[in-house]
Structure 1
Amino acid sequence: MQEVMADSAPKPVGPYPHARQVGDFLLLSGMGPRAAGQKDIPGVTLNNQEQIVDYCIETQTRQLFANLKAVLTSAGADWEDLVDITVFLTNMDADFKTFNRIYAEYFTDNKPCRTTVEVNKLPTPIAVELKCLAYKPRG
């Protein structure tokens, strides 16, 4: 097993790697739209108590996909290697259509299996998170 850490992705919020190569599979840790090296989260407005007062799911989703790309690249993988994605949204009614539209822009050729669920809260003040699995045979 080999750990993968991507310098161009935000640091994980806990003691875990961005991804782990296990045989021919690349398992990616849950990933959100925080930007590497920044305190502010793209597309999120917080109040003084660090609570979300406004957010843009489109901005968060695009940053999330940039983070995903950074981790895949660090592991020597690409979009085409993704085989399964679980999406966590904090507001399915408000955000699913927009998320789905943006998702379709990024996944035109490769269409991984996908599950989308609504959750009450995520570990940081974000509205979307991904959990991914890629198939990347060792060369």
Structure 2
Amino acid sequence: MSDIVRTDAAPPPVGAYPHARRVGGLLFLSGIGPRNPATNAIPGNEVDADGRLLGYDIAAQTHAVFANVRAVLEASGARWQDLVDVTVYLTDMARDFAAYNAIWAEYFPDAGAAPCRTTLGIDALPTPIAIELKCVAALPGRS
């Protein structure tokens, strides 16, 4: 049996799927991006008059995606510290990995207590974002 989680505190999914699903003692988050939950704007994106992407700020997007993940965790009854596995998708690994990795270390200063992590460089994401996270958390008190 599973419980579906949706929250207005995170940006709406870009397809027909929930923010997260509880299964037993685990919480599986769908891919979460950095869009602003209230405006759907993408922090740090610079666009021209025609709406074409000119550039982006990976630091702004990384902080925003972490905030969105935290919002889904909290809506699910979990905490940041309950994350056990994170898959990170970056659209420009060569340009963005060092900055992203430094921000990761701010949020997880104790590497021994940090979740497992895999970081992948990919060509594109479904919206003009530079980072997306796929997470699994352990739910407190559930097994």
Structure 1 counterpart of 2:142, which letter? R
The amino acid that maps onto 1:57 is I
**1:120 paired to 2:126:** no
Deviations 1:78-122 (A, max 9, x none): 111111000000111110000000011111243111000100000
Alignment partners' CA distance in 2, 1:74 and 1:113? 22
Displacement of 1:19 in angstroms is 0.3
Q: Please list every run of at least 4 consecutive aligned residues from structure 1 whose deviation after the TM superposition is greater than 4 angstroms.
A: none
Letter in 1 for 2:131: V
Which moves more between the two structures, 110-119 or 35-44? 35-44
Query: CA-atom RMSD, angstroms?
Result: 1.3
Distance 1:23 1:50 in 2: 43
Classify the secondary structure of the residue corresponding to 1:102: helix
Match of 1:6 in 2: 7
**Structure 2 SS opposite 1:124:** coil
**2:132 counterpart of 1:129:** yes
**Matching residue's letter, 2:85:** D
Who is 2:142 aligned against?
138
Report how many aligned residue pairs link the two structures. 139
Q: CA contact under 8 A between 1:50 and 1:125: conserved in structure 2?
A: no
Letter in 1 for 2:84: V
Structure 2 contact 11–40 (Cα < 8 Å) conserved:
no
| Equivalent-residue separation in structure 2 for 1:80 and 1:39 (angstroms) | 27
Unaligned residue ranges in structure 1 (runs of 5+): none
Q: What one-letter code is carried by the residue in structure 1 that aligns with 2:126?
A: P
CA shift at 1:50, angstroms? 3.8
Take 2:99 and 2:105, find their aligned partners in 1: how far apart are those partners?
10
